Structure 1
Amino acid sequence: MADHVEERESIIEKIVEKIHDHDSSSSSDSDDDKKPSDHSSFEAKVFRLFGREKPVHKVLGGGKSADVLLWRDRKVSATVVGFATAVWVLFELLEYHLLTLACHVLIFLLASLFLWANVSTFINKPAPEIPEFHISDDIILGVVSTLRIEINFAIGVLRDILSGRDFKKFVAVVAGLWLISVVGSWSNFLTLAYIVFVLLQTVPYLYEKHEDRVDPFAEKAFIELKKQYVVFDEKVLSKIPIGPLKGNKAA
């Protein structure tokens, strides 16, 4: 009888141990399930500038142009910056004119190729083969389609502004034009284009390198701007009549 009782107690202990093992494994599985979700939710809450969800390289297109802007190939990027700097120095500092330069370059190329084609028989060197080049219909249609989309978007924005339905766009466009006019008064178009080019070659690279520091600062700046805009909206924008009056519609 005592042996039978001991056997029953040992069986009960084994059952209890299995239950505890199952509970601990299920709890560990649930913890493991929660961890990636918590991690993903944490990553989802990280503020990124302009609300981007992709890396900077993908945002810039992910191709060779993005590699140049982010200095993935330093030789190519340095060559591009050096060429732009040479053009700016040539036209701005040396006061060389674009039309004059284009004509001189074409004269040099045409004269060199023409002389090479005629002298090749005497120097026993073959003349360079001029490849056949033509612009396909797909390229023209692609460019026209892209321009059509951008022009239609600009026309839609202009229509919203002129109809008085979107005061925010009106303020943004006026502020942008005013800012461009102020910056344009500081220098001529070539210098401004060169400055913009240099910024495009430096700002994305520096941002990608220090994005962990820039994004928190940008988040604080956006929060402060939203607060200031709410105050400006309550005190100024909400008091401005927008669109046609209801009385005119009824009439």
Structure 2
Amino acid sequence: MAEPAGEAAPQADGVSEEAAARPRGFRLLGEDKSVHQALGGGKAADVLLWKDKKTSAAVIGGATVLWVLFEVVDYHFLTLISHVLIGVLAILFLWSKATIFIKKSPPDIPEVKISEDLAVNVALALRTDINQALHLLREISLGHDLMKFLGVIVALWILSEIGSLCDFLTLFYVAVLMLHTVPILYHKYQDKVDHFAGKAHVELSRQYSVLDAKVLSKIPRGPAKDKKQN
């Protein structure tokens, strides 16, 4: 009985070593951050990771219907909204009138209001995101982080190229599809993606070091500001 246990011990140690070594590798989201946490950890994360399959399918289906109506059928936004409201109001009006003749209770239409708490929470969330974006732009403008500057420039250039190939609605539809496919694929193949991302990060860091040594370090800089004497 001792020999099988002894043979199994190296395998268990090997597995534990791999599991212990895995978190120390390069992680796109950080050591202790999961995909669900990176997406906010709430209902939105559940929808994007298809944990709430009905809602996820409804979002994809709704976005597809809107894209087909506006891009394929060539519907206009105001025309669609007007037709939908005409249909809904006509059905509810006729239903309410019909209940008088058939002697049944009228439809129970709830009163919908936007609460003050909801409006404040949305405004606070937008305020936080906008402030973070403005802070990032300020840091880049002041020249504090060259990597962020290059990353933002490349992202904006890619966005401009994509915008020249398709309109805003198509871009929005593609973004919805990517939000419902990329996170779940990354969650499923996270180890492989992080492995290749780690290699790319090492190579980019090496290229940046070469660029910094040959070019950036030779750029003349202004004199540092003297600290105020007390």
Normalised by the length of structure 2, the TM-score is 0.79
Matched letter for residue 80 of structure 2: L
Partner of 1:49 in structure 2? 28
Out of 202, 214, 223, which is 1:246 matched to?
223
Equivalent residue number for residue 62 of structure 1:
41
1:237 is displaced (CA, Å) by: 2.7
Long gaps (5+) in structure 2: 1-12
Per-residue CA shift, 1:42-83, capped at 9, x if unaligned? 344133223252332333233333232222344443332222
Q: What secondary structure sits across from 1:228 in the alignment?
A: helix
Judged with a 3 Å threshold, the aligned counterparts in structure 2 of structure 1 residues 248 and 76 are, in CA distance, closer, same or farther, namely closer
Instruction: Tell me the distance in 2 between the aligned counterparts of 1:65 and 1:150.
Output: 16
Q: Distance in 1 between matches of 2:102 and 2:131?
A: 58
Q: Residue 99 of structure 2 contacts residue 106 of structure 2 at CA under 8 Å; is this kept in 1?
A: yes
Question: Which region of structure 1 is more displaced relative to structure 2, 158-167 or 89-98?
Answer: 158-167
1:176-187 mapped onto 2 (5 Å cutoff) = 176-187=155-166
Choose which of 163, 173, 178 in structure 1 pairs with 2:152. Answer: 173
- d(CA) in 2 for partners of 1:211 and 1:40? 14
- The letter for the 1-side match of 2:189 is H
Q: 1:149 to 1:183 in 2, by over 3 A?
A: same
**Whole-angstrom CA distance in 2 between matches of 1:82 and 1:110:** 24
Cα distance in 2 for residues equivalent to 1:118 and 1:192: 44
How much does 1:93 deviate? 0.9
Q: Deviations over 1:79-110 (max 9, x none)?
A: 32222112111111111111110111111112
Matched residue type, 1:201: H
Bigger mean CA offset, 41-50 vs 133-142: 41-50
Structure-2 change in CA distance of 1:160 and 1:59 (3 Å):
closer
- CA spacing shift, 1:53–1:165, aligned 2, 3 Å: closer
Q: 1:146 aligns with which of 108, 113, 125?
A: 125
Look up the match of 1:223.
Answer: 202
Q: State the partner residue of 2:214.
A: 235
1:39 Cα offset (Å): 7.5
- More divergent stretch after superposition (78-87 vs 189-198): 78-87
Please say if 1:211 is aligned against 2:190.
yes
Instruction: Pick from 126, 137, 155 the counterpart of residue 105 of structure 2.
Output: 126
Tell me: CA distance 1:152–1:52, structure 2 relative to 1, closer, same or farther (3 Å): same
For 2:96 and 2:76, how far apart are their aligned partners in 1? 30
CA distance in 1, matches of 2:46, 2:206: 37
If asked which structure has higher relative contact order (CA below 8 Å, sep 6+), I would say: 2
Letter in 1 for 2:50: W
Q: Give distance in 2, aligned partners of 1:191 and 1:232.
A: 38
**Pick aligned residue for 1:103 from 79, 82, 87:** 82
CA separation of 1:60 and 1:116: change in aligned 2, threshold 3 A: same
How far the C-alpha of 1:41 sits from its partner, in A, is 4.9
Q: CA deviation at 1:124?
A: 2.5
Distance 1:141 1:111 in 2: 34
Structure 1 length-normalised TM = 0.73
| In 2: Cα distance, 1:121 partner to 1:219 partner | 70
- Let me know the Cα RMSD of the aligned residues: 2.9
Distance in 2 separating the partners of 1:78 and 1:140: 27
- Separation in 2 of the partners of 1:43 and 1:51? 12
Report the equivalent of 2:64. Answer: 85
Unaligned ranges ≥5, structure 1: 1-34
Q: Kindly tell me the number of residue pairs found equivalent between the two proteins.
A: 215
